[in-house]
Amino acid sequence: MASQKNKNGFYAQSGGVTAVINASAFGVLEKARQHPESIQKIFAGQNGILGALQENLIDTSLNSAEEIKGLRTTPAGAFGSCRYKLGELNKNFEKYRRIVEVFKAHNIGYFFYNGGGDSQDTTKNLAEFIKEQNLDIKCVGIPKTIDNDLPETDCSPGFGSVAKYVATSILEASLDVSSMAATSTKVFILEVMGRHAGWIASSGGLAQRTESDPPHIILFPEIPFRLDSFTEKVRETVEKLGFCSIIVSEGVRQENGDFLTNAKGTDAFGHAQLGGVAPMIAELINNKLNLKNHWATADYLQRSARHICSKTDVEQAEAVGRHAVELALNGKTSVMTTIERITNHPYTWGLGSVDLKKVANREKMLPADYISTDGFGITEKCKEYLSPLIEGEAYPEYQKGVPHYTKPRKVLASKKIDDDFPI
């Protein structure tokens, strides 16, 4: 291995968390502990990259093996995450300089950043800055996003578990609605995340075993919303089956390209804050069809549901964390770990890496041939892609009837730089 000697590592979580991001943290920390000759300890950023900027470094060497192991079955960000974009290198020099200053002060030779497209952009920019400074700090991105929109990787850890949750939720809710439809609710609407890409919405289609099974309608960001064809589909479904179950992506757009909902401002990454499309769809159904309906939003529930995680997702999340350490120890930098599908039947996969320039600030949309010809469902090709990603169960330990989750101690390392950095 082309490893450095007697260096520390820095790991941080970024953006919206997932049910399995801590499995990636477990992979990083456990793998690093196996190489004390190269990595003395791993610091974790308190609240993501803010931990580096503010020199709030959690010393994970003080956490027991049991605490680290518990991360594998614990949802959310154990060390804290944040939505904070460093921005372009040439316009935010002081931020990158500050991070490197902190890294030098704490003898950090490895940087592992666990996040989506914006986070991979940060890793790329930091790697470029480090190169300009003639420093030897390896920068490796670890994929994470429930949206599954990272390019150059077969899937993104976090997505498989959300997909399992959505498919399960629409199945169970639809059974409830169908049993009451004769005298009560006729239409059920479930809003899911996904931003600009319809991957999460598509996963609800895995609940469908026959043509008449729910979901009967999926509204994708990739397909412009047309009111007349939508309401006609709802009407036909209710007339035929007695009820209609709908999944709607938060990023559904009008024919002119605008979001169906009005944006509620932007987040720290500059993305429109979405949500609130389900009640809008419900109101349209009320106005056009006068059908009793209920709506729900999966919201944080879909990304925090560790109790129903996909085993495949957990294993892949852990694996990309381990692989990130392996890549860094082998001298790789400015790369992201990737998942590579080998075969579908049986499902087999491996690990690889990709230059961050091919990933940063890019989105992978749902392919056109994954969407049915009427625009309201998914194809068999889509099911073939999705199905393995939700396979298997990886239940956490339960105590007194509820999951037992780990809360690792967060002991901060002593600061070595006196000045505070404004955020």
* Domain span(s) for CATH 3.40.50.450 in the chain: 7-144+308-361+395-403
pLDDT at 361 over 90: no
Q: Are 133 and 34 in contact (CB under 8 A)?
A: no
pLDDT at 180 over 60: yes
The pLDDT of residue 91 is 85
What residues have CB less than 8 Å from 288, skipping those under 6 apart?
227, 231
Mapped onto helix, strand or coil, the DSSP state of residue 381 is helix
pLDDT at 153 over 90: yes
pLDDT at 57 over 70: yes
Chain centroid to CA 221: 17
For residue 416, the 8-state DSSP code is: -
pLDDT (mean) for 336-360:
96
pLDDT at 381 over 50: yes
What angle separates helix 21-33 from helix 311-329, to the nearest 10 degrees?
Answer: 40
CB atoms within 10 A of CB 399: 9
Identify the CATH class of 159-306+377-390.
Answer: alpha beta
pLDDT at 3 over 60: no
Pairing relationship of beta strands 335-343 and 293-297 according to DSSP bridges: unpaired
For residue 321, the 8-state DSSP code is: H
pLDDT band at 274 (very low <50, low <70, confident <90, very high): low
Tell me the per-residue pLDDT of 247-272, one tens digit each, with 9 for 90 and over: 999 999 988 888 887 545 444 444 55
Single out the residue of 111, 143, 125, 117 nearest to residue 353, CA to CA.
143
Q: Which CATH number fits domain 7-144+308-361+395-403: 2.40.50.140, 3.30.420.40, 3.40.50.450, 3.40.50.2300?
A: 3.40.50.450
Q: Phi-psi bin for 342: left (phi > 0), alpha (psi -120 to 50), beta? A: alpha
More reliable by pLDDT, 49 or 1? 49
pLDDT (mean) for 2-8:
73
147, 149, 154, 313: the catalytic one is: 147
The pLDDT of residue 93 is 87
pLDDT (mean) for 139-146:
97
pLDDT (mean) for 216-220:
98
Q: Are 283 and 299 in contact (CB under 8 A)?
A: no
The pLDDT of residue 326 is 98
* Domain span(s) for CATH 3.40.50.460 in the chain: 159-306+377-390
The pLDDT of residue 267 is 46
CA distance 292 to 274: 25
Pairing relationship of beta strands 39-45 and 57-59 according to DSSP bridges: antiparallel
Q: What are phi and psi of 71, to 5 degrees?
A: -60, -30
Q: Are 376 and 24 in contact (CB under 8 A)?
A: no
Mapped onto helix, strand or coil, the DSSP state of residue 8 is strand
Average pLDDT, the chain: 93
pLDDT (mean) for 393-397:
96
Tell me the per-residue pLDDT of 66-117, one tens digit each, with 9 for 90 and over: 999 999 999 999 999 998 888 888 888 899 999 999 999 999 999 999 999 9
Is 147 catalytic? The answer is yes
CA distance 8 to 36: 10
Mapped onto helix, strand or coil, the DSSP state of residue 257 is coil
CB atoms within 10 A of CB 189: 26
pLDDT at 213 over 60: yes
Cα–Cα distances (Å) from 80 to 33, 250, 267, 354, in that order, read 21, 25, 17, 26
CA distance 318 to 311: 11
The pLDDT of residue 269 is 46
